[in-house]
Structures are given as structure tokens and as C-alpha cells.
Amino acid sequence: MGYSSVIFLGLLMMFSFPVARSWSKEGHILTCRIAQDLLDHEAAETVKHLLPQYADGDLSALCTWPDQIRHWYKYRWTSSLHFIDTPDEACTFQNSRDCPEDKCVAGAIRNFTSQLLHYKEGSSDRRYNLTEALLFLSHFMGDIHQPMHVGFTSDEGGNTIHVRWFRHKSNLHHVWDREIILTALADFYNKDLDMFQEDLQNNSTMGVWADDISSWRDCDDLLSCPNKYAAESISLACKWGYNGVTEGEALADEYFNSRMPIVAKRIAQGGIRLAMILNKVFGNHKQEIASPT
């Protein structure tokens, strides 16, 4: 291959993969591990059954799969499902306005939840691959909780807002996808993801969030709850993500210390709510209605 075709390919790749848009793999892994630990027996068995053999029963091993395949021809249609563009400065989410034809992360959660709902009934449509539905649902429940995944249209959820993160170049979207998580891992957990996970779980079961968990789980209608999660995200994006950040700004300790608790909480919420959905979708429905909460 000649030099010019190398350059051409390089340019082609730059333009076909313009921006990264997803919780980092660490964020997705944490969300999925927290969820899997909270599954009831039946849901746990079903998840294991649906996972491909090579995942070895570990949902988190495949929670980043939707990011890996989003640019493949066959899955191109999924690449707009990782986020929501809302009108600039509106700071609200309206499904009919911001998620036409359900082609956004809230709509994707609805779609894959309803595909999985048919699993129990044994009426699942053969067009649908329920392994893929499980992986998409698990991934998108992470993404919808990343505040900047429900961001303003013109800056692509902060992707076009260049900032410095401590000493290196980054952008506002990526700060929320990954930088805050990596800095927390390095500063507080000796780069040990297991320890980060344990701290999140401790804070959920007996720590700062213990009293909030049941309200996080509240969901009367599985197919409309994603709208609530999206509204929370854009509200957080306005209050904590965009607020006070200008193009070219250097973000460091102050931004990190005030935003890290938000990132941690959103990861935990994503995991706890993913477990809630999977337990409802795969669980014994009668028992669930009968059991007091």
C-alpha cells in the first residue's frame, strides 16, 4: 500500500469514527457487575443461559460488546442508540421530541426490554437474538446513566468542547466517560477495579445511598422508566457537566472532587436498575406481585 493510500485510510478512519460516545469499559464493567450480583436466582440462571459460552457466566465481560460492533456494517443502525441529543440549553428530555422512532438510548432500552419480555412467555420472535438483546440492554442501561450521554445537540454531548484534564488534552464528554473514573481508580483504589466496585456496593448497601436504593428501583412501567433516567441525566449534565466549563478550560482537582460522587452514583444507579429490569423480565411474575416491598 502506497503512502497516499495510508493517509487516505487514516483520514477515512478519522471521519468514520469521529467521536467516542460511551462510558469507558471500566464504567460498563462496574455497572454490569453490580447488576449481576443483585440478580434473583431465576434471572441469574437465565442470564447465564443467554451468555455465550466464552463469557464464562460473566455478564460484565461482554457489556462493552455494543461499542465494539457499532461501526460494523451489520450493526451500523445501532450507533445512534448510545445517546440522546437534546436541544441546546433546554436541560430537559422529551421522548417525542428527542427520541424520534425510538432511535435513541431510551428507545433502545425499551426495544430490548420488550424483546426479552417474550423470553418467559416462550413467544420470542425468532427474528430477535436474545443474547444480543441482553448485551444491548446491559450496555445501554450504563450509557443512559452517563449524564453527558444525554447532552446538547450542537456540541455532541460535550464531545466538541475541548478541555484539559489535569495535564493532558481531552474533551468534556470524555471527562465524564472515562477521565473521572480513571483518576478515581488511581487516586483512591490503587487502580484496582474490584476495590472500586466494593466501595460502590458498600455505599449502596450500608453507606451514603442505602436509604435511596428503593426509590432508584421504583418503576411501575418498564417501558417508560428509561424516560426518567434520561431526564435525570440531562439535568445532571446541565448542573454538573456543562456548568461553568468553557472551551479550552483546564479541569483539575476542583472539578474532579465535586463530580466524582456524581459519576459513582450514576454507575451504581445503572447497575441497580439493570438488576431491577432483569429480575422483572426474567423473574417469576406472580411471586413478584405477591411479595410485599
Ligand X SMILES: *[C@@H]1O[C@H](CO)[C@@H](O)[C@H](O)[C@H]1NC(C)=O
Q: Is 207 in the site for ligand X (CB under 6 A)?
A: yes
Q: Is 198 in the site for ligand X (CB under 6 A)?
A: yes
Give min distance, CB of 196 to ligand X, in A.
6
- For 258, other C-beta atoms within 10 Å of its C-beta total 10
DSSP 8-class letter at 151? E
Give min distance, CB of 1 to ligand X, in A.
31
Candidates 155-163, 191-199, 221-229, 234-242; binding stretch for ligand X (CB under 6 A) = 191-199
Contact 167, 93 (CB under 8 A): no
What residues numbered 106-135 form the site for ligand X, per CB under 6 A? 107, 111, 128-129, 131-132
Is 206 exposed, middle or buried, given 0-12, 13-18 or 19+ CB atoms closer than 10 A? exposed
* Residue (12 or 195) nearer to ligand X, CB: 195
Q: Is 202 in the site for ligand X (CB under 6 A)?
A: yes
Spell out the long-range contacts of 64-70 with Cβ–Cβ below 8 A and sequence spacing 24 or more. Answer: 64/22, 64/25, 64/28, 64/29, 64/139, 65/135, 65/139, 66/135, 66/136, 66/139, 66/140, 67/22, 67/25, 67/28, 67/139
| Measured distance CA(24)–CA(263) in Å, rounded | 12
* Residue (53 or 243) nearer to ligand X, CB: 53
DSSP 8-class letter at 119? H
* Residue (206 or 289) nearer to ligand X, CB: 206
Out of 39, 161, 175, 200, name the contact with ligand X by CB under 6 A. 200
Contact 226, 150 (CB under 8 A): no
What stretches of the chain adopt beta strand conformation (E)?
84-86, 150-152, 162-165, 168-171, 250-251
Give the residue from 240, 40, 215 showing the smallest Cα distance to 151. 240
- Number of residues forming the site for ligand X (CB under 6 A): 19
Candidates 2-10, 42-50, 97-105, 141-149; binding stretch for ligand X (CB under 6 A) = 97-105
Q: What mask of x and - would describe binding to ligand X in positions 255 to 274, judged by CB under 6 A? A: ---------x----------
Give min distance, CB of 27 to ligand X, in A.
12
Out of 52, 57, 100, 244, name the contact with ligand X by CB under 6 A. 52
Give min distance, CB of 12 to ligand X, in A.
26
* Residue (141 or 161) nearer to ligand X, CB: 141
Q: Is 208 in the site for ligand X (CB under 6 A)?
A: yes
What residue number has its CB nearest to ligand X? 264
> Which residues are CB-neighbours of 120 under 8 A, at least 6 positions away?
281, 282, 285
Out of 9, 13, 195, 252, name the contact with ligand X by CB under 6 A. 195
Largest CA distance in the chain: 69
Q: Is 199 in the site for ligand X (CB under 6 A)?
A: yes
The contact set with ligand X (CB under 6 A) reads 52, 101-103, 107, 111, 128-129, 131-132, 195, 198-200, 202-203, 207-208, 264
